[in-house]
Amino acid sequence: MKTKLKITVFLITITLFSINCFDINESIRDVSRNNEQDTVSNNNTNGLKSEILELELPVIFDSTNYLIFPISVFQKPERSSSWRGSYDYSYSESYRYEYNADYGMDSYYGNFSNLIFQNIKSEKNTFLTKKNIRIYSFHFLRAYYIKYGKQYILLEIKDTDSNKDKKIDYYDISSLYVCRTDGSKLLKLSPDNQNLVSWKGIIENGKLYFTTLEDSDNNNIYDYNDKKKLFSVDLKNNFMLEELNFLNK
């Protein structure tokens, strides 16, 4: 009788745990999807369908008052006759952290659908955006904060279905964005329909420099047959953007 009772309690515990985990995942998915305005399909080829969103452990940058909860995107394999077992996906490494001493910044890399900013004191949560995007990295410009007293986060974001395959993913063009450390004032720095190639911050003059590729041959492919452009952004002066054409002058 005791053995049966233990088994029953064990099964009930597993059932409740499973229900709770399901509810958490569903709530994250619902909140994120309800905040998306674009209608880009999330179907993927190569046998991968339906995305799973996971709320990650929070990160915090020194001298800021906000926790940042990344929402990672995983692809759920489609069950097929040649695939056995239950659904599964990788938890090996959802995102990674790096500190760049040369640029004086903290960086996080991953595949995120959004970021949630939580005020430490009030615990109020704010989503970075309501749009359907993919965030592949975000960086706290620590050196700029130390020198100029302004707290900014730089983000590399894919916001356009540039290859027209009805989804936004790694194969679409990248854009450069900036926001405050509370998630407000999200601003796109790079021009529309140009693919971000590289960027670099110069602490001494408080400027950010980046290069892009413009689809100059209009073949919807961004490569080194296209025109490369160089821009500067003055972080001290309301993000004033300037295209640098030294060779054409």
What residue ranges do the domains of the chain occupy?
Answer: 35-78+95-248
Cβ atoms of 232 and 242 within 8 Å: the answer is yes
Can you give the pLDDT at residue 142? 92
Question: Which residues on adjacent β-strands are paired with residue 54?
Answer: 72
**What's the pTM?**
0.75
For residue 124, give every residue at least 6 positions away whose Cβ sits within 8 Å of its Cβ, in sequence order, or none.
118
Least Cα distance to 178 among 126, 241, 124 occurs for: 241
Can you give the pLDDT at residue 64? 92
Can you give the pLDDT at residue 74? 87
Question: Which residues on adjacent β-strands are paired with residue 96?
Answer: 109
- Split the chain (249 residues) into runs of 10 and give each run's mean pLDDT: 42 38 38 37 43 92 93 73 41 75 88 97 96 96 92 96 90 96 96 94 94 84 84 93 84
Q: At 154, is the secondary structure helix, strand, or coil?
A: strand
H or E stretch including 9?
helix 2-34
Can you give the pLDDT at residue 75? 76
Backbone angles phi, psi at 214, to 5 degrees: -100, 135
pLDDT tens profile 111-159: 999 999 999 999 999 999 999 999 999 999 999 999 999 999 999 999 9
Q: At 159, is the secondary structure helix, strand, or coil?
A: coil
Distance between CA atoms of residues 136 and 169, nearest Å: 10
By CB atoms closer than 10 A (0-12, 13-18, 19+), residue 191 is: middle
Can you give the pLDDT at residue 117? 98
Distance between CA atoms of residues 20 and 241, nearest Å: 48
Cβ atoms of 196 and 157 within 8 Å: the answer is no
